[in-house]
Amino acid sequence: MQSDLKRKRGLSVLDLLPLIEARSARVGVIGLGYVGLPVACILADNGFHVTGVDINAQKVETINRGQSPIGGEEPGVAELVARVVAAGRLRASTAVTDLAEAHIVLICVDTPVEPDTHLPLYRGLRGALTSLGPVLRDGALVIIESTIAPGTISGVVIPALEEASGKKAGVDFFVGHCPERVTPGRLIQNLVTMSRAVGGQTPDVAKVMVALYSTYVTGELDPTDPLTAEVVKTAENSYRDVQIAFANELAVVCETLGADVYAVRELLNKSPGRAMLMPGAGVGGHCIPKDPWLLIANARDQVEARLIPAARAVNDRMPEHMVTLTERALAKHNVSLQGARIAVLGYAFREDTDDDRESPSRYFVEALERCGATAIVHDPHVPAYQRPLEEVVTNADAAVFMVAHRAYQNIDLEWLRGALRHPVVVDGRNVVDVNAAASAGLTYIGVGRRLL
């Protein structure tokens, strides 16, 4: 009934423009993780009243104390959380009902894929939509910032919100998709400076979204439709995955041929238009390992995608390859992998962050254990593995560099050699200087280096 009355009056998404301009639009953010928390903080810092909602009560409590639950080296985030919470501009809650007054709701929940089928697992997304629906304000704009499979706005988001709210998309509420491009370690800088594909259900929705993001984004804001935005986001990470897979495959080929992939890469990149990436011990994080699967999820019944799954397979094999390299280096000292004690240096998926989702180190440790080795893990940022480095390397049969944390960059190789039971270093991230390792009397083996 209320909805019918409003419809007669004619709800327009453009009504939100003056509210955005005056910063009087109330903003809700669902999902306060690596993406949602910084977004909520930046909007709050720009003058909006923001309510953040998360199902994780501990996270909500931490934020309401003015602290950031994000660890690692994350410039600016802790200060921003403290500032906007103290100013009363950001409040976190576990209750979606607190978004009943929100004019704009950003959804930033995690969007994993099912490990066996690689199909999207939208538990968080569906949960957010079905809980938001009943309290969704007339005229509200709902923006999905999470990465989603192309076709999800039309096939999942709109139907789920319409069903849960009893309202009609494009009439009683509006929907857009503005995928995030951030990387842990540079969240604030990325959020502010990177360009964005702004997918609105209609050009007017995109216009309002551009107005909202203009309040803090200095990068270009490109209005488009939701499907294009869905494809752009999943394709850009698929592209990166394919590029990394090329570097990894070339690295393994170089090892066998006796060439050095880093020397090859430097010269290869002198050829115009070439920009080969670095090879490494594997690809992790919440995004790149699943976004290629999201890209093809709704097309794969009709199109046989070959390159994208092949790239996933190449990159997924790297932790296993690290085990092969470790075994080979140990053999130089007549040490078998079975029963060996391996110091694993780094557990986060990326240097200087605490994010260990889909960490290649996890798969490396599992593969080591299958071979009968014992893994002792160190990571300066991941709470479960924060312990003295000395404790981890002392009497280990090999030290394996899995992450290029700053803490490992200038490691004293003489000291390392003295601590290890056998002087074996395996380098999955090009962290150790090969010549310095040789001078320190270490047996060095690395991804893309000539095999021993």
Ligand X SMILES: NC(=O)c1ccc[n+]([C@@H]2O[C@H](COP(=O)([O-])OP(=O)(O)OC[C@H]3O[C@@H](n4cnc5c(N)ncnc54)[C@H](O)[C@@H]3O)[C@@H](O)[C@H]2O)c1
Q: Which residue numbers are catalytic?
A: 233, 287
- 110 touching ligand X, by CB under 6 A: yes
Would you give the distance in Å from CA 3 to the centre of its chain?
39
- Yes or no: say if 361 and 355 are a contact pair by the CB < 8 Å rule: no
Residue showing tokens 């071979």: 371
Candidates 175-183, 213-221, 329-337, 422-430: pick the segment binding ligand X (CB under 6 A): 175-183
Other beta carbons within 10 angstroms of residue 183's beta carbon come to 16
DSSP letters for 383-426: GGG-S-HHHHHTT-SEEEE-S--HHHHT--HHHHHHHSSS-EEE
Candidates 177-185, 201-209, 327-335, 437-445: pick the segment binding ligand X (CB under 6 A): 177-185
Candidates 181-189, 219-227, 313-321, 333-341: pick the segment binding ligand X (CB under 6 A): 181-189
Burial 386-398 (b: 16+ CB within 10 A, else e): eeebeebbeebbb
Site string for ligand X, 44-63 (x = CB under 6 A): ---------xxxx--x----
Q: State the residue number with the nearest CB to ligand X.
A: 33
- Yes or no: say if 11 and 138 are a contact pair by the CB < 8 Å rule: yes
Burial 154-177 (b: 16+ CB within 10 A, else e): bebbbebbbebbebebeebbbbbb
Rounded least distance, CB 107 to ligand X, Å: 8
Q: How far is CA 400 from CA 16, 221, 349, 431, in A?
A: 54, 43, 15, 10
- 289 touching ligand X, by CB under 6 A: no
Q: Which of 30, 113, 245, 281 binds ligand X (CB under 6 A)?
A: 30
- 229 touching ligand X, by CB under 6 A: no
Q: Which of 180, 236, 327, 397 binds ligand X (CB under 6 A)?
A: 180
Alpha helices in 177-260 (DSSP H): 187-193, 203-214, 226-257
Nearest Cα neighbor of 233 from 341, 176, 149, 302 is 149
Residues 311, 241: Cα–Cα separation, whole Å:
6
- Yes or no: say if 178 and 199 are a contact pair by the CB < 8 Å rule: yes
Interface with ligand X in residues 236-255 (CB under 6 A)? none
Site string for ligand X, 304-343 (x = CB under 6 A): ----------------------------------------
- 34 touching ligand X, by CB under 6 A: yes
Which backbone phi and psi does 210 adopt, to 5 degrees? -60, -40
Interface with ligand X in residues 182-221 (CB under 6 A)? 182-184
Rounded least distance, CB 93 to ligand X, Å: 10
Rounded least distance, CB 130 to ligand X, Å: 8
Number of residues that bind ligand X (CB under 6 A): 28
Residue showing tokens 């981890």: 392
Kindly tell me which of 181 and 341 has the beta carbon lying closer to ligand X. Answer: 181
Candidates 120-128, 152-160, 304-312, 370-378: pick the segment binding ligand X (CB under 6 A): 120-128
Rounded least distance, CB 3 to ligand X, Å: 24
Rounded least distance, CB 82 to ligand X, Å: 19
Candidates 30-38, 165-173, 214-222, 309-317: pick the segment binding ligand X (CB under 6 A): 30-38
- 33 touching ligand X, by CB under 6 A: yes
Residue showing tokens 């850009």: 236
Chain residues binding ligand X by CB under 6 A are 30-36, 53-56, 59, 108-111, 124, 127-128, 146-147, 180-184, 286-287
